[in-house]
Amino acid sequence: MNETFDVAIIGGGPAGETFASELSAASPDKKILLVDGSSEGHIKVCGGLLAPDAQKVLAMMNLTLPNCILADPQIFAVETVDLVSRCKRLYQRHYLNMKRNAFDKWLLSNLPKSVAVISGMCVDAKQFNGVYAISVRQNEEIKTYLARAVIGADGGGSLIRRKFFGRTIKQYVALQQWFEGEKVPSYSCVFDRTTSDSYSWTIIKDGYSIYGGAFEKEGCREAFERQKARFEEFCGIKLGKPIKTEACLVSSPRRMRDFIAGRDGVFLIGEAAGLISSSSFEGISSAIISGKILARAFADGKNQRDVLRLYRRRTRALRIKLWLKTKKRAVLCSPTLRKMIMKSGIKSLQI
């Protein structure tokens, strides 16, 4: 507990890793700590599709994916299904099918040696005497680390956001199950207003079928099981017994004030800041972009107040873009509008 870091990053996903890498390169004299909670069983429920926006960001960083991260099959279309109207359409999409956990580990492997990475789960964070005390559970033992600034990169269930900002954001429980065999469409987007006002998905990955979706917190498991049964009936399939079930919170911003940059030496990036698409739950691109912008703000800013000013200003376009996604979500999740679009067949593929 004697060493004081300049920055403590909570979360080792794309947002935290990008910020750590960029800040280390821009300010090699800074002492950086990154707390990676994946070893403590914190699993991101994610279909593992790399969307075009995220591909563009990686291309701009001159990064290429190793083959070991990719999963079979690669996907060129999404089958959109409405279980209420019984309508089904195919739309062209350009995704990379990948193993999400392997992707996160690959990003972490690119970190410079100067970044101190510890495995553990952040369980508390407090400010006193001008520094922050970060409590981390490591192998059932609680250890405390000190830092002058804290970066919340800990996703939809962000502890840092709750502790220092307390501002609520619309959240769903993301539930996902894995099944043996290729029993579902390679990629589909499923709507069912009777069980969720959001959407669900199916994906085939390396010989396994995935069924997942976003549901209201209350009664989420019951709604998930009912919707899954309705999907099986619609497709005429039986998924069988799941070999794995995953769950986590996922954010769905609805207002500009849902996006939080930071305050008093605490900064938020990625989904912790609310920077995620409410229409598709795609967050990797925003995580990387916000991590890069905050790192540059740290390098350019004279003090923490200046850093926050730069970070807010430079993420304005990103926040507006994601706010516009809330309007797209309103259209996609409207049963009437969605039925009209799907019935029209506009932009759909003919098989």
Confidence of residue 2 (pLDDT cuts 50, 70, 90): low
| Helix segments in 96-155, DSSP class H | 100-109
| pLDDT band with cut points at 50, 70 and 90 for residue 199 | very high
Strands 75-82 and 187-191: parallel
Identify the CA nearest to 53 among candidates 326, 321, 285, 288: 285
User: Cβ distance 155 to 272 under 8 Å?
Assistant: yes
pLDDT in tens, 206-264: 999 999 999 999 999 999 999 999 999 999 999 999 999 999 999 999 999 999 999 99
Tokens representing residue 10 in the block: 């909570």
Q: Which two tokens stand for residue 315?
A: 């993420």
Residue 282 above 70 pLDDT? yes
Residue extents of the structural domains in the chain: 4-62+101-168+255-328, 73-97+170-251
Q: What is the pLDDT of residue 107?
A: 92
Per residue in 85-97, pLDDT (tens digit) is 999 999 999 999 9
* pLDDT computed for residue 229 by the predictor: 98
Which token pair is 271? 């989904």
The dihedral region occupied by 240, where left means phi > 0, alpha psi between -120 and 50, and beta the remainder, is: left
Instruction: Answer left, alpha or beta for residue 236, where phi above 0 means left and psi between -120 and 50 means alpha.
Output: left
Q: What are the φ/ψ torsions at residue 110 (nearest 5 degrees)?
A: -85, -5
C-alpha–C-alpha distance, residues 191 and 168, integer Å = 26
CA-based nearest residue to 75, from 111, 102, 47 = 47
pLDDT value at residue 41: 56
Would you mind telling me the total number of residues written for the chain in this entry? 351
DSSP annotation of 320 reads: H
Share of the chain above pLDDT 70, in %: 98
Please state the pTM of the whole predicted model: 0.93
Q: In what order do the strands lie in the sheet with 49-50?
A: 49-50, 87-97, 75-82, 187-191, 200-205, 208-215, 171-180, 244-251
Give the H/E segment covering residue 4: strand 4-10
Domain 4-62+101-168+255-328, CATH number (from 3.90.1150.10, 1.10.3720.10, 3.50.50.60, 3.20.20.70): 3.50.50.60
**Closest-CA residue to 333 (of 131, 213, 191):** 191
Q: Rounded mean pLDDT of 129-151?
A: 94
Q: Give how far Cα 96 sits from Cα of 38, 56, 243, Å.
A: 23, 12, 24
Which residues sit opposite 247 in a β-bridge? Answer: 175
Task: Report, as an integer, the average pLDDT of 58-70.
Answer: 92
CATH 3.40.50.2300 fits 73-97+170-251, yes or no: no
